[in-house]
Chain A
Amino acid sequence: MVVGGGHAGVEAALAASRTGAEAVLVTPEPDRIAMMPCNPAIGGVAKGCLVREIDALGGAMAMAADAAAVQFRMLNLGKGPAVWGPRVQADSDIYPGIMTETLNRSRVRIVPGMVTALEGGPARFTGVVLEDRTVVPGDAFVIATGTYLGGILYRGEERWPGGRAGGLTSTGLNRFISGMFHVERFKTGTSPRVVTSSLDLKALEAQESHDAGFRFSIESRRPIRSAMKCYLARTNSDTTAAVRENLHRSPLHRRAIEGRGPRYCPSFEDKVLRFPDRSDHPIHLEPISRRSRLSYLNGLSTSLPQDVQYRMVRSIPGFEKAEIALFGYAVEYTRLSWGTFDGTLKLTGTENLFAAGQILGTSGYEEAAALGLLAGANAGRVARGDGPLAPDPEEGYLGVMVQDLVGKGIDEPYRLFSGRAENRLHLRQDNAHLRLMDFGTGLGVLKGVRLELAADFRTAWTSVAAGIREQGLEPLCRRPETRVEEIAGILKTGFDPDSLRTAFYDVRYSGYLARHRRRRSAAREQWALAVPPLPEGGGGVSTEARQAIEKNRPRTLGEAALLSGVRASDMEALLLLALGRRCST
């Protein structure tokens, strides 16, 4: 039983159904499934890799992105493949249709309705209550309501309830969840959409697409071909002046919004405040779909009043006569606090309630979809009487993200960066299907054609890797100036170019990866140390952690690290205390 039909909800329902459970998706907007309220792009650095991981776990986002793509770029192409970022601009009109079709094909039952509460509890829930008080029964639940819980939208002096422009807000469920779990407020925002024909495109820099024969899904038949252009524009001192003169009208700076926004994706107001010396900020003009007359202004997220948005937009060369069709706004919403869920995305203290997507504090379609897949698969497993599983941070970005959310906690909307992975050189988009094959089959979500294709890839890769080893090409692969084409020339025997590339970079990165593994095993040794007695005054261990330790009495540091309430900083302090004690005896 999945509540919410966004990116998280869709993958959750599909994953649950792949585990063999009977999946039901409840959403008040069945005609707006997997909508993209923000910029219509899927992928990027780390995010693109996550989309490949979703594919490797049998999910739907990769295939849908391939099918809906109107433009493709491989970010960081000049750098090594561990940081390549495949990204598409998707046609946001057809994407929801593709997803709805996928749901239908997978026999997910879609129930229209707004959930206001859950039945049963506090440990075991038995059904969801809809607005008209009907109860839909279920064996396990995933809450994936995005920004809708207690959602409030802001623009200038205006303030109105909603999960996004033109959407609803969820007050009943917000009350229910906030009554059971610790929650906090986060904030995000979006940019104005302009009428494309009102712009002078010749004044802008066109951005070419890379037609590199790429596809996100190993199951997609044809590579992405581009159909539309993106453009690059730059703001100037008139744009920043418009902002500066009107800051007092911004809900953010009037402190009307208390929620924390993302630093990596700031509003334009924030950019002006934080970089007062700069006025030429890049703005990317992205088409919303083939059919739409509108384009999205990436980089100009703002919640200033409408007249100011006009002044800002029209100050940009090429935008003098721009018509704004939809204005930017900020949204503040409720998210579950740190410590309310574990590594399987099950809510603490419950047996069959999971959560996924923006409600966990993340931001972005890809993050939401991947978490949805995990929560849905685990809900499916619980419904069928199996235990839920947690992903390994050493084997994928999904695991990295879950570890960060559960272990470290976050202070702002969370987005994946490749730098968050400790072993980034291993977590590449090219080897996602190799890395996650075992987890996917174990979880019960990787089957059928997808599994066969992944297995074929593994076979091809194994044989190329053996070829490189047998012909003694490893030292050559490690040299900075060696190109993969050279190795191809030497190997001669028939091979698949994708698996050759993967095998080549496995060797190139192997020395650095080995170093990482050595460090990790040293860390594991430390995990085996006994938990030291905590000194008076704390010794740097937080009160929350101290309480968790006193209650659960873990024997080793490794056990302590898994407790909810013990943060990374507490682990550092515990480690120091443990080592200090060992030295003095």
Chain B
Amino acid sequence: MSREGDVIVARATPPGLSALAVVRLSGPGCAALVEGLAQAPRGRLSGMRRALITIPGSGDMVALGWPPDRSYTGEEMVELICHGIPEGVAALLETLLGAGARSALPGEFTGRAWRNGRISADRIIELAAATETGGRVEPMDRAVSELLERVSGALETLEGAIEFQEEGFLELEDCRSRIEESVGAAERVLLMARRLQRSVRVFITGRVNTGKSTLMNLLCGERAALVDPEPGTTRDGARREVTMAGKRFLLADTPGFDGEGLDGKAFQLVLDEMDGEDVALWLSDRGEEPPGVLKATGARLLPVLSRSDTHRLEGLRVSSFTGEGVDLLKRELVGLVQAPGEQEVLEMVSMLREAVRWVEEAPEIASELLRQVESIAGGMSGIRPGRIAVERALKVLCVGK
């Protein structure tokens, strides 16, 4: 069983939808194997050769031949770059296996590279680490590549309708529904992005008995903090994870600012904990300025006029009794927090909506917008359609797992 000389094959790009997929073969005779399938002349892929080939059942693709002295594994290699539709890639792999290639074992490409002196052990460890972090954000990656796929698809339909109007096979209405689907896909990316955002801590601070715990309960929608009309009841600030508009918050009730003894110590501990990443609500029913010790923590301060049913002061008025201002406060909190990449995704959503508005009147404007979305989404995923160089840089990571 001479395993080492086998022609091995594996998909080099991550599974799932992508604009392009790369399938790699390594081992002596792999060029001849592909040439045979494509009915291309012998030697077409020997040396550093690039060719457009057709493999029956899998259609057109680009083949890159790599001689042993130049290839990643140090063996004869071929890379096939085809459309990233999962079924198509699966069919291609099937064909290659049928023609005598064998599925690569995990890490086998990198293993061969190491055996042939093409790569150092340190580098293998580096690659493995990179693959690990890659695995953690996978659902987000998938959402982005799905968005990219849809936008690219919509753009292709639109461009077809523009360049080949006489063929009469593409209607702008069809383009419209495809762009609308892209809006859906972008919104899913937004959700994923928000899920990735680590929860932001919101400290509810104020003097004793300014309605902190009641507000906490209102924001959580349930009884979270111990409430007692007796001043100074809250000692162990209760903490609750809540989600507002898809964003995650960790709400923390705190002991009264002017508390003494135990309360005073507990408040000091809270202050020590706060930093610039956090948000502090400062509750007051008299319009009082937040104290200097709170400002000194660097937390983002949001003054709230509590018990608004008892006074007429102006500002962010909230009443736990009438419910006034609670929704406004929630919106303020949501606005304070940005998930990673959220700005870009929001921009994409709004450009796609604008594209829907223009598509029938001026498809050229819709197309311009889609192109920009495609380039943002491509930048986020690293699989820009036609961006073959990046595929090559990425390929090392996947098969090495």
Instruction: Give chain A's interface residues, CB within 8 Å of chain B.
Output: 45-46, 75-76, 79-80, 82-83, 85, 255, 260, 264, 282, 284, 411, 417-419, 424-425, 480-481, 508-509, 512, 515-516, 519, 537-541, 543, 569-570, 572-573, 576
* A572 engages B389 (CB within 8 Å): yes
* B387 engages A569 (CB within 8 Å): yes
Task: Specify which chain A residues have a CB less than 8 angstroms from the CB of B390 in the assembled complex.
Answer: 540, 572-573, 576
Report the nearest B residue to A577, measured CB to CB. Answer: B393
Report the nearest B residue to A537, measured CB to CB. Answer: B72
Q: How far is the CA of A79 from the CA of B165 in the complex (A)?
A: 10
B223 at the interface (CB under 8 A from A): no
Task: Specify which chain B residues have a CB less than 8 angstroms from the CB of A569 in the assembled complex.
Answer: 386-389
* B162 engages A418 (CB within 8 Å): yes
* B52 engages A411 (CB within 8 Å): yes
Stretch touching chain A among B214-222, B234-242, B295-303, B364-372:
B364-372
Looking at the complex, which one of B357, B361, B368, B372 makes contact with A425 (CB distance below 8 Å)?
Answer: B368
Task: Specify which chain B residues have a CB less than 8 angstroms from the CB of A417 in the assembled complex.
Answer: 159, 163
Q: How far is the CA of A569 from the CA of B387 in the complex (A)?
A: 6
Q: How far is the CA of A83 from the CA of B72 in the complex (A)?
A: 45
Task: Specify which chain B residues have a CB less than 8 angstroms from the CB of A576 in the assembled complex.
Answer: 389-390, 393
Task: Specify which chain A residues have a CB less than 8 angstroms from the CB of B286 in the assembled complex.
Answer: none
Which residues of B from 368 to 385 have beta carbons under 8 Å from A? Answer: 368-369, 372, 375, 384
Which residues of B from 59 to 102 have beta carbons under 8 Å from A? Answer: 70, 72
Looking at the complex, which one of A75, A80, A260, A538 makes contact with B165 (CB distance below 8 Å)?
Answer: A75
Instruction: Check A79/B72 contact, CB under 8 A, given A419-B159, A576-B389.
Output: no
Instruction: Give chain B's interface residues, CB within 8 Å of chain A.
Output: 39, 48, 52, 70, 72, 118, 159, 162-163, 165-168, 357-358, 361-365, 367-369, 372, 375, 384, 386-390, 392-393
Looking at the complex, which one of B39, B165, B168, B375 makes contact with A76 (CB distance below 8 Å)?
Answer: B165
Report the nearest A residue to B62, measured CB to CB. Answer: A411
Task: Specify which chain A residues have a CB less than 8 angstroms from the CB of B387 in the assembled complex.
Answer: 569, 572
Looking at the complex, which one of A46, A85, A541 makes contact with B389 (CB distance below 8 Å)?
Answer: A541
Task: Specify which chain A residues have a CB less than 8 angstroms from the CB of B372 in the assembled complex.
Answer: 515, 519
Q: How far is the CA of A82 from the CA of B363 in the complex (A)?
A: 10
* B388 engages A45 (CB within 8 Å): no
In the complex, how many residue pairs between chain A and chain B have their CB atoms under 8 Å apart? 87
Instruction: Check A424/B364 contact, CB under 8 A, given A540-B389, A576-B390.
Output: yes
Q: How far is the CA of A418 from the CA of B72 in the complex (A)?
A: 39
- Residue among B159, B369, B392 facing the most chain A CB atoms (10 A cut-off): B392
Looking at the complex, which one of B72, B357, B368, B393 makes contact with A480 (CB distance below 8 Å)?
Answer: B357
Report the nearest B residue to A255, measured CB to CB. Answer: B39
Task: Specify which chain B residues have a CB less than 8 angstroms from the CB of A284 in the assembled complex.
Answer: 166
Task: Specify which chain B residues have a CB less than 8 angstroms from the CB of A82 in the assembled complex.
Answer: 364
* B389 engages A79 (CB within 8 Å): no
Q: How far is the CA of A292 from the CA of B368 in the complex (A)?
A: 44
Looking at the complex, which one of B166, B357, B362 makes contact with A80 (CB distance below 8 Å)?
Answer: B362
* B389 engages A425 (CB within 8 Å): no
Instruction: Check A83/B389 contact, CB under 8 A, given A424-B364, A425-B364, A512-B365.
Output: no
* A80 engages B39 (CB within 8 Å): no
Q: How far is the CA of A539 from the CA of B394 in the complex (A)?
A: 10
* B392 engages A540 (CB within 8 Å): yes
Q: How far is the CA of A546 from the CA of B48 in the complex (A)?
A: 13
* B48 engages A543 (CB within 8 Å): yes
Would you give the shortest CB distance from B134 to chain A, in whole angstroms?
16
Task: Specify which chain A residues have a CB less than 8 angstroms from the CB of B163 in the assembled complex.
Answer: 45-46, 264, 417-419
- Residue among B163, B386, B389 facing the most chain A CB atoms (10 A cut-off): B389
* A83 engages B393 (CB within 8 Å): no
* B52 engages A83 (CB within 8 Å): no
Task: Specify which chain A residues have a CB less than 8 angstroms from the CB of B361 in the assembled complex.
Answer: 80, 480-481
Main secondary structure of the interface of B (DSSP, over half): helix
17 further A-B contacts with Cβ under 8 Å, apart from A480-B361, A576-B389, are A45-B163, A79-B362, A79-B364, A85-B165, A255-B39, A264-B163, A282-B167, A418-B163, A508-B362, A515-B372, A540-B389, A541-B389, A543-B48, A572-B384, A572-B389, A572-B390, A573-B390
A–B Cβ pairs within 8 angstroms, 26 of them: A45-B162, A45-B165, A75-B166, A76-B162, A79-B162, A80-B361, A83-B162, A284-B166, A417-B159, A418-B162, A418-B364, A419-B162, A424-B368, A425-B365, A480-B362, A481-B361, A508-B362, A519-B372, A537-B72, A540-B389, A540-B390, A540-B393, A569-B389, A572-B384, A573-B390, A576-B390
Task: Specify which chain A residues have a CB less than 8 angstroms from the CB of B389 in the assembled complex.
Answer: 540-541, 569-570, 572-573, 576
Q: How far is the CA of A419 from the CA of B389 in the complex (A)?
A: 22
Would you give the shortest CB distance from A16 to chain B, in whole angstroms?
33
Would you give the shortest CB distance from A512 to chain B, in whole angstroms?
5
Would you give the shortest CB distance from B165 to chain A, in whole angstroms?
5
* A83 engages B364 (CB within 8 Å): yes
Q: How far is the CA of A82 from the CA of B387 in the complex (A)?
A: 27
Task: Specify which chain A residues have a CB less than 8 angstroms from the CB of B118 in the assembled complex.
Answer: 537
* A80 engages B365 (CB within 8 Å): yes
Please provide the 7 A-B residue pairs with the shortest distance between their CB atoms, ordered closest to farther.
A573-B389, A540-B389, A80-B362, A82-B364, A540-B392, A569-B389, A572-B389
* B52 engages A260 (CB within 8 Å): yes
Report the nearest A residue to B156, measured CB to CB. Answer: A419
Task: Specify which chain B residues have a CB less than 8 angstroms from the CB of A543 in the assembled complex.
Answer: 48, 70
Would you give the shortest CB distance from B83 to chain A, in whole angstroms?
14
Q: How far is the CA of A481 from the CA of B358 in the complex (A)?
A: 10
Q: How far is the CA of A46 from the CA of B364 in the complex (A)?
A: 13
Task: Specify which chain A residues have a CB less than 8 angstroms from the CB of B357 in the assembled complex.
Answer: 480
Report the nearest B residue to A411, measured CB to CB. Answer: B52
Task: Specify which chain B residues have a CB less than 8 angstroms from the CB of A79 in the assembled complex.
Answer: 162, 165, 362-364
Task: Specify which chain B residues have a CB less than 8 angstroms from the CB of A282 in the assembled complex.
Answer: 166-168
Task: Specify which chain A residues have a CB less than 8 angstroms from the CB of B162 in the assembled complex.
Answer: 45, 76, 79, 83, 418-419
Task: Specify which chain A residues have a CB less than 8 angstroms from the CB of B159 in the assembled complex.
Answer: 417, 419
Q: How far is the CA of A543 from the CA of B387 in the complex (A)?
A: 17
* A539 engages B48 (CB within 8 Å): no
Q: How far is the CA of A541 from the CA of B358 in the complex (A)?
A: 39
Report the nearest A residue to B382, measured CB to CB. Answer: A576
* A512 engages B368 (CB within 8 Å): yes
Task: Specify which chain B residues have a CB less than 8 angstroms from the CB of A83 in the assembled complex.
Answer: 162, 363-364
Q: How far is the CA of A516 from the CA of B371 in the complex (A)?
A: 10
* A419 engages B167 (CB within 8 Å): no
Task: Specify which chain A residues have a CB less than 8 angstroms from the CB of B368 in the assembled complex.
Answer: 424-425, 512, 516
Report the nearest B residue to A513, measured CB to CB. Answer: B368
Would you give the shortest CB distance from B41 to chain A, in whole angstroms?
8
Task: Specify which chain A residues have a CB less than 8 angstroms from the CB of B375 in the assembled complex.
Answer: 519
Report the nearest B residue to A575, measured CB to CB. Answer: B389
Report the nearest A residue to B394, measured CB to CB. Answer: A540
* B364 engages A539 (CB within 8 Å): no
Would you give the shortest CB distance from A425 to chain B, in whole angstroms?
6
Task: Specify which chain A residues have a CB less than 8 angstroms from the CB of B165 in the assembled complex.
Answer: 45, 75-76, 79, 85
Task: Specify which chain B residues have a CB less than 8 angstroms from the CB of A76 in the assembled complex.
Answer: 162, 165
Q: How far is the CA of A35 from the CA of B332 in the complex (A)?
A: 71
Would you give the shortest CB distance from A112 to chain B, in whole angstroms?
39
Q: How far is the CA of A543 from the CA of B166 in the complex (A)?
A: 43
Would you give the shortest CB distance from A368 to chain B, in whole angstroms?
19
Would you give the shortest CB distance from A362 to chain B, in whole angstroms?
16
Would you give the shortest CB distance from A272 to chain B, in whole angstroms?
15
Report the nearest A residue to B160, measured CB to CB. Answer: A419
Task: Specify which chain A residues have a CB less than 8 angstroms from the CB of B369 in the assembled complex.
Answer: 512
* A419 engages B365 (CB within 8 Å): no
Q: How far is the CA of A82 from the CA of B72 in the complex (A)?
A: 46
Would you give the shortest CB distance from B360 to chain A, in whole angstroms?
9
Would you give the shortest CB distance from A418 to chain B, in whole angstroms?
6
Task: Specify which chain B residues have a CB less than 8 angstroms from the CB of A255 in the assembled complex.
Answer: 39
Q: How far is the CA of A232 from the CA of B167 in the complex (A)?
A: 11
Q: How far is the CA of A569 from the CA of B50 in the complex (A)?
A: 14
Q: How far is the CA of A539 from the CA of B72 in the complex (A)?
A: 10
Task: Specify which chain A residues have a CB less than 8 angstroms from the CB of B363 in the assembled complex.
Answer: 79-80, 83
Q: How far is the CA of A539 from the CA of B367 in the complex (A)?
A: 33
Would you give the shortest CB distance from B62 to chain A, in whole angstroms?
8
Q: How far is the CA of A512 from the CA of B368 in the complex (A)?
A: 7
Task: Specify which chain B residues have a CB less than 8 angstroms from the CB of A537 in the assembled complex.
Answer: 72, 118
